[in-house]
Amino acid sequence: MTAISPTARQEKTACILCSRNCGLVVDIDNGNFVKIRGDDDHPVSKGYICQKAARLQHYQQHADRLQYPLKRQPDGSFVRVSWDEALGDIAQKLLAIRKAHGGDAFAFVGGGGQGNHLGGAYNRQILAAMKSRYAYNALGQEKTGDFWLNGRYFGRQTCHTTEDVEHADYVLFIGTNPYQAHGIHNARDTLKAIKKDPDRTMVVIDPRRSETAKQADIHLQLKPGTDAFLMSAMLAIIVREGLHDREFLAQHCNGFDAVEKALRELPVEDYVARADVPLELVTQVARDFAKARRGCVRIDLGLQQTLHTTLNGYLEKLLYLVTGNFGKQGGNNLHSFLLPILGHTDERQVRKGKSLKRTAYHGMHPIAGIYPPNILPDEILHAGEKRVRAVFVDSANPALTYANTGAYERAFQSLELLVVIDVALSETARLAHYVLPAASQFEKWEATGFNLEFPENAFHLRHPLFPPLGESLPEPEIYTRLLEKMGLIPTRFPLLERIARLEPAASGHLGFMAALGATLARHKEWIPFAASIVYRTLGKALPDNAAAAAPLLPLSIGYANEHYAAVKRAGHKGNRLTLGSAFFKAILDQREGMVMSRHEMADTWRFIKHKDGRVHLEIPEMLAELRALKDEVPPGADAPFILMAGERRSYNANQIYRDPAWRKVDPHGALRMHPEDAAALELADGDKALCDSGLAAIEVVVEIDDSVRRGMVTLPHGYGQRYNGGAPAGPEINRLTASDHCDPLSRTPFHKYVPVHIRKPAAAN
Ligand SMILES: Nc1nc2c(c(=O)[nH]1)N[C@H]1C(S)=C(S)[C@@H](COP(=O)(O)OP(=O)(O)OC[C@H]3O[C@@H](n4cnc5c(=O)[nH]c(N)nc54)[C@H](O)[C@@H]3O)O[C@H]1N2
Ligand SMILES: Nc1nc2c(c(=O)[nH]1)N[C@H]1C(S)=C(S)[C@@H](COP(=O)(O)OP(=O)(O)OC[C@H]3O[C@@H](n4cnc5c(=O)[nH]c(N)nc54)[C@H](O)[C@@H]3O)O[C@H]1N2
Ligand code: SF4
Ligand SMILES: [Mo]
């Protein structure tokens, strides 16, 4: 047993490594995590964790942690500067760029990782300050195709779907490996429960015999990039055999006739052959899924970062819609959000060229308010006078994680101003003019907006466990000071501060909210900066220095108002006037997180935003792409290998861990290759090889592994950090990925389908 010192204590928090944000109980001693385990009281994870969470000390403390603001010198080195100097300089430069070139010269990148979305309320203010709309982030390289479809199917791009795998009796996992990547409720327990139950069926559609496929009843090991063929063939089988849910379609959907017609024209046998999977098995899966009582589809990057990304999303959603597995337990559903992490881009306005900005070089419009990272290097390097000249990066490491590392390096090096806000001196931070140190996610109030559950949804506000390292600051303070330096808001709001301080707690801050409304009505120019104003005023009156959480008050009031019955069902007390502030107080008080709402299944229909309340199945762009499939020649069909660039494994976690010592296995981030392919190239396990995409070649270490299909190789995501100034640890996979190898509609990259040559290094030269 470890000796417990008098300073030791136990606290509640959550894991920040993936979108599940499992609740944790941590033992802390002397400023360090000494023990980490799952929190049985957490309303969602209920004690569950995976092997990655136990290593969080490697995030909290390591050699690359930033302690002071840094300014780059002409010789490329960094010197420590004061916050006042850094923010003063940045404010001046931003104002000069805005004056000379207008707001479009500015872009914001990132803004939240897997566990830190509370800063989002503050960081989006910088876009308003610059009068720019260019928000780029990682969702624009994986999920925007899905959001676009949601806009068409359900009426708004904020209508996000979730999947009730826990209660399904027939689950299709397509292009996802929840055993490693999680993404579903307590993934490994949920998979185990399905596996054990003879009445429930798990089907995995994946070109690799993944850890999830190993648990499955049926594995369809298709050829990479052929999902659109396979899924459309499955749908065609369903409609041909009359297994679609006519009653559901008539009651809830428009446009099925057009879909049915397109599906009936499909050459099923040919398409299944293209996917290279057995027709009988595909037929059986299509039939059984259609007949299942509670069928559910869960997908992720294997569909979203491969050929036909958006069409894949269209077909995947048709699978559950056509079979009536929507709006019910064990199916796919819509859900509520507390933090507005997605916006809605009105396509009619895009078409009219109104209000929504198309980018200068690619003419790309946003989806859900987000621009795709694949185009940003061109918008900086090639857009002429209208180019992006200044960029803020917050909570992201695009120099490693966005497509085409070389293009990002060139583009970022050409900027007039690059500011990076991070907890660590990342590869992107090394390119910056100013690096601003953020307090870690265990040193400040934080929360995630990944509350994607239905019918029961939860929220967890985490309190700080340690003081900020060195001079690092929480993002709310950084952005608020910057707005003040830019002269956009005053530093004091005497009236609001006084009301916030003197108002009795029992009144639920309603007097403050009224005064805030009146202030903003008088000063409309402050409306975009309401988060910082609430932070500086109400924030000061909140207990335990929880100022950063202040903008949750208006969000709580809005949520309680919109989902009144569901919030009450979750046990929150109050009436139409008071429920929101009671809800806010519960957020502040409940250290293990809380259930926000208990919806009724029928609420899914309330979340639909089409005026007729129905799902619109006919999406002409998708039906056109579906019809064009039959003539497709896949890109790179002549390349010997298709690289899956970015696999989730047991020891990768985006770019959140930097110290390679956190890994227990796979130090090189090896290239997985089928034994017969390796033999043909005379490569042995542990050999070095070159992986060449045409854009670049990188050295890799080979791991022979018969779980991949022949002709497919994989490299992990989340490597390549130059920790403590050293050489890249493991593959920098995005040196290989090209900016224009992407979905034409959403511009999200085809990372899982990168045609490559593999060579022995000797033959390289
Ligand atoms: N351990 C770990 N977990 C993570 C993360 C991490 O870095 N490490 N990152 C988190 C994040 S940000 C995300 S977005 C999720 C992603 O989670 P997932 O998408 O589930 O994970 P991946 O391993 O990227 O890809 C999933 C599967 O797609 C398969 N695949 C590749 N090509 C194709 C294809 O053409 N068709 C089909 N059907 N399948 C294909 C791969 O073999 C793989 O098994 O993971 C989250 N969880
Ligand atoms: N080829 C290829 N590329 C991929 C993928 C792939 O599968 N293949 N996966 C993609 C996916 S799905 C994703 S989501 C992206 C993820 O890539 P990114 O969006 O770049 O995000 P992270 O890797 O999470 O990087 C987070 C950064 O935030 C910093 N950070 C941590 N905590 C804080 C904090 O509290 N405040 C601030 N300001 N910073 C903090 C970390 O130090 C790190 O530098 O990668 C993508 N890139
Ligand atoms: S990495 Fe994800 S699944 Fe694992 S403990 Fe953290 S939040 Fe939970
Ligand atoms: Mo992601």
Distance 303 CA to ligand 1 centre (A): 9
CA separation for the pair 74, 123 (Å, rounded): 28
Contacts of 359 (CB under 8 A, 6+ apart): 134, 371, 375, 379, 383
Write the DSSP symbol of residue 734: G
Spacing, Cα 722 to ligand 2 middle (Å): 15
* pLDDT digits 0-9 by tens, 564-620: 999 999 999 999 999 999 999 999 999 999 999 999 999 999 999 999 999 999 999
Task: Write the CA distances from 507 to 374, 546, 565, integer angstroms.
Answer: 49, 18, 22
User: Is 557 in the same domain as 704?
Assistant: no
Which ligand is closest to the CA of 648, given by its number?
1
Hey, whose CA ends up nearest to atom 14 of ligand 2? 138
Please identify which residue in the block is written with the tokens 């060229």: 353
pLDDT at 348: 81
- Per the CB < 8 A criterion, the answer to whether 460 and 586 are in contact is no
Q: How far is the CA of 181 from the centre of ligand 1 (A)?
A: 6
Amino acid 302 reads G
Using the atom order of ligand 1, give the atom closest to the CA of residue 182. 47
Q: Considering the domain boundaries, does residue 124 fall inside one?
A: no
| Residue at 704: amino acid letter | I
68 belongs to a structural domain: no
Rounded to the nearest whole angstrom, what is the distance from the C-alpha of residue 45 to the centroid of ligand 3?
Answer: 9
Cα–Cα distances (Å) from 619 to 2, 257, 427, 605, 642, in that order, read: 61, 12, 41, 20, 30
Provide the pLDDT for residue 634.
83
Please give the distance, rounded to the nearest whole angstrom, from the Cα atom of residue 304 to the centre of ligand 1. Answer: 9
- Tell me the C-alpha to C-alpha distance, in Å, between residue 280 and each of 235, 443, 581: 15, 56, 57
Please state, for a pLDDT cut of 90, what percent of the chain lies above it: 95
Residue 128 φ/ψ region, left for φ over 0, alpha for ψ in the -120 to 50 degree band, beta for the rest: alpha
For residue 38, which atom of ligand 3 is closest to its CA?
Answer: 5
User: Which of 143, 144, 177, 214 most suits a substitution to test ligand 1, by most atoms within 8 Å of the C-beta?
Assistant: 177
Distance from residue 94's CA to the centre of ligand 2 (Å): 25
The confidence score (pLDDT) of residue 19 equals 97
- The ligand whose atoms approach the alpha carbon of 435 most closely is 2
> What atom in ligand 2 is closest to the CA of residue 64?
42
By DSSP bridging, strand 135-136 and strand 106-110 are: parallel
> Do 570 and 654 share a domain, yes or no?
no
Query: From CA 52, how far away is CA 305, in angstroms rounded?
Result: 24
The residue whose CA has the least distance to atom 2 of ligand 2 is 646
Q: Is 394 in the pocket of ligand 1 (CB under 6 A)?
A: no
176 touches ligand 1 (CB under 6 Å)? yes
Task: Characterise 747 by phi-psi region: left (phi > 0), alpha (psi -120 to 50), beta (else).
Answer: left
């009068």: which residue's tokens?
Answer: 131
Ligand 1 mutation pick, 227, 300, 748, max ligand atoms within 8 A of CB: 300
Contact criterion met (CB below 8 Å) for 78 and 72? yes
Pocket-forming residues, ligand 2, beta carbon under 6 Å: 110, 113-114, 116, 138, 141-142, 301, 394-398, 401, 421-424, 426, 438, 440-441, 475, 645-646, 654-656, 717, 733-734, 737, 751
User: DSSP secondary-structure letter at 201?
Assistant: E
- Kindly state whether residues 568 and 641 are assigned to the same domain: no
Residue 522 counted as domain residue: yes
Q: What is the 3-state secondary structure (H, E, C) of 412-465?
A: HHCCCEEEEEECECCCCHHHCCEEEEECCCCCCCEECCCCCCCCEEEECEECCC
SS (HEC) of 469-494: CCCCECHHHHHHHHHHHCCCCCCCCH
Shortest-distance ligand to the CA of residue 137: 2
Residue 33 identity: F
Q: Which atom of ligand 1 is nearest to the CA of 650?
A: 1
Q: Is the pLDDT of residue 83 over 70?
A: yes
Is there a single domain that holds both residue 327 and residue 180? yes
| Domain C-terminal end among 604, 621, 646 | 604
Same domain assignment for residues 592 and 641: no
Asked, for residue 92, whether it belongs to a domain, the answer is no
Q: Distance, CA 266 to ligand 2 centroid (Å)?
A: 40
**Span of 340-344, 553-557, 621-625 with lowest mean pLDDT:** 340-344
Domain-embedded: residue 85? no
Task: Point out the ligand 2 atom lying closest to the alpha carbon of residue 137.
Answer: 19
Domain boundary, last residue among 277, 307, 334: 334
End-to-end CA separation in angstroms for the chain: 56
Q: Are 419 and 90 in contact (CB under 8 A)?
A: yes
Contact 526, 564 (CB under 8 A): no
Cα-to-centroid distance, 101 and ligand 4 (Å) = 33
Q: Which ligand is nearest to the CA of 658?
A: 2
The pair of three-digit structure tokens given for residue 227, joined into one six-digit string: 């999902």
Question: CA-to-CA distance for 528 and 546, rounded, in angstroms?
Answer: 22
615 belongs to a structural domain:
no
Mutate which of 309, 392, 397 for ligand 2 pocket (most atoms within 8 A of beta carbon): 397
Strands laid side by side in the 106-110 sheet:
78-80, 70-72, 434-437, 417-422, 390-394, 106-110, 135-136
> Does 448 have pLDDT greater than 70?
yes
Q: How many A from CA of 397 to the centre of ligand 2?
A: 6
Do 330 and 189 have their domain in common? yes
Q: How many CA atoms lie within 13 A of 182 on its CB side?
A: 21
Tell me: do 321 and 172 sit in the same domain: yes
H helix or E strand, kind and range, residue 351? helix 347-351
Is residue 180 domain-shared with residue 239, that is, in the same domain?
Answer: yes
| Ligand 1 and 718: CB distance under 6 A | yes
pLDDT band of residue 347 (cuts 50, 70, 90) is confident
755 has which bridge partners? 642
Above 60 in pLDDT, residue 1? no
What 54-57 contacts at long range (C-beta under 8 Å, 24+ apart), as own/partner pairs, is 55/657, 55/662, 56/15, 56/16, 56/17, 56/26, 56/442, 57/32, 57/33
Of residues 491, 536, 542, the one with CA closest to residue 516: 536
Give the residue, out of 59, 655, 734, with the most ligand 2 atoms within 8 A of its beta carbon, to mutate for a pocket test.
Answer: 655
pLDDT at 188: 98
For 157-169, how does the pLDDT look when each residue is reduced to its tens digit (9 = 90+)? 999 999 999 999 9
pLDDT(469) > 80: yes
Confidence band, pLDDT 50/70/90 cuts, at residue 189:
very high
Q: Sorting pLDDT into bands at 50, 70 and 90, what band is 353?
A: low
147 torsion bin: left (phi>0), alpha (psi -120 to 50), beta (else): alpha
Task: Flag whether pLDDT at 764 surpasses 50.
Answer: no
| pLDDT, mean over the chain | 96
In residues, how long is the chain? 765
Pair 27, 124: CB distance under 8 Å: no
474: Cβ below 6 Å to ligand 1? no
CA distance 579 to 177: 40
Give 292-322 pLDDT, tens digit per residue: 999 999 999 999 999 999 999 999 999 999 9
**Ligand 1: which of 648, 717, 751, 754 to mutate, most ligand atoms within 8 Å of CB?**
648
| Residue whose tokens read 């446009």 | 255
Q: Is residue 436 part of a domain?
A: no
Query: Domain for residue 306, yes or no?
Result: yes
d(CA 483, CA 69): 17
| Planar angle of CA 432, 433, 439, nearest 5 degrees | 65
Report whether pLDDT(356) > 80. Answer: no
Residue in the structure block whose two tokens are 């009156």 = 541
728-749 mean pLDDT: 98
CA of 90 to the centre of ligand 1 (A): 38
- What is the reported pTM? 0.97
Q: How far is the CA of 115 from the centre of ligand 2 (A)?
A: 11
* Residue 91 reports pLDDT greater than 70: yes
Query: Using an 8 Å Cβ cutoff, are 170 and 200 in contact?
Result: yes
What's the token pair of residue 51? 């092997």
Work out the pLDDT band at 635, boundaries 50, 70, 90. Answer: confident
Report CA(52)–ligand 3 centroid distance (Å): 7
Give yes or no for residue 113 CB within 6 A of ligand 1. Answer: no
Cα of 718 vs centre of ligand 1, distance in Å, is 12
Paired sense of beta strands 434-437 and 417-422, if any:
parallel
Q: What's the average model confidence in pLDDT over 20-44?
A: 97
Same domain, 52 and 171: no
Residues with CB under 6 A from ligand 3: 15, 17-18, 20-22, 49-50, 52-53, 182
pLDDT at 513: 97
Q: Which ligand is nearest to the CA of 45?
A: 3
| pLDDT score of 394 more than 50 | yes
CB atoms within 10 A of CB 201: 21
Q: Which residues touch 725 (CB under 8 Å, ≥6 apart)? A: none
Pair (595, 650) in one structural domain? no
Give how far Cα 198 sits from Cα of 17, 193, 202, 346, 745, Å: 33, 10, 10, 46, 41
Of the residues 267, 299, 334, which one is the last residue of a structural domain? 334
- Nearest ligand 2 atom to the CA of 439 is 35
The structure tokens listed for 409 are 């390096």
Confidence of residue 6 (pLDDT cuts 50, 70, 90): low
CATH, residue 640: 2.40.40.20
Whichever domain contains 42, its CATH number is 3.30.200.210
pLDDT-based confidence at 636, cuts 50/70/90? confident
Q: How far is the CA of 121 from the centre of ligand 3 (A)?
A: 24
Q: Do 581 and 508 fall within a single domain?
A: yes
Q: Which residue's CA is minimally distant from atom 8 of ligand 3? A: 22
- Taking the centre of ligand 2 as the mean of its atom positions, its distance from the CA of residue 700, in whole angstroms, is 22
Do residues 314 and 217 both lie within one domain?
A: yes
Q: Which domain holds residue 547?
A: 487-604
* pLDDT value, residue 765: 46
Total domains present in the chain:
4
User: Residue 341 has which token pair?
Assistant: 């992490």
Ligand nearest to the CA of 749: 2
Atom of ligand 3 nearest to the CA of 18: 2
Would you give the distance in Å from CA 9 to the centre of its chain?
33
The H-or-E segment that residue 57 falls in is helix 57-60
Confidence of residue 5 (pLDDT cuts 50, 70, 90): low
- Which one of the ligands is nearest to 738 CA? 2
- Helix/strand/coil percentages in the chain, nearest 5: 40, 20, 45
Handedness of CA 572, 576, 580, 581 (dihedral sign): negative
Q: Which of 298, 301, 754 to mutate to test the pocket of ligand 1 (most atoms within 8 A of CB)?
A: 301
Q: Give the CATH number for residue 218.
A: 3.40.228.10
Q: What is the structure's pLDDT at 330?
A: 97
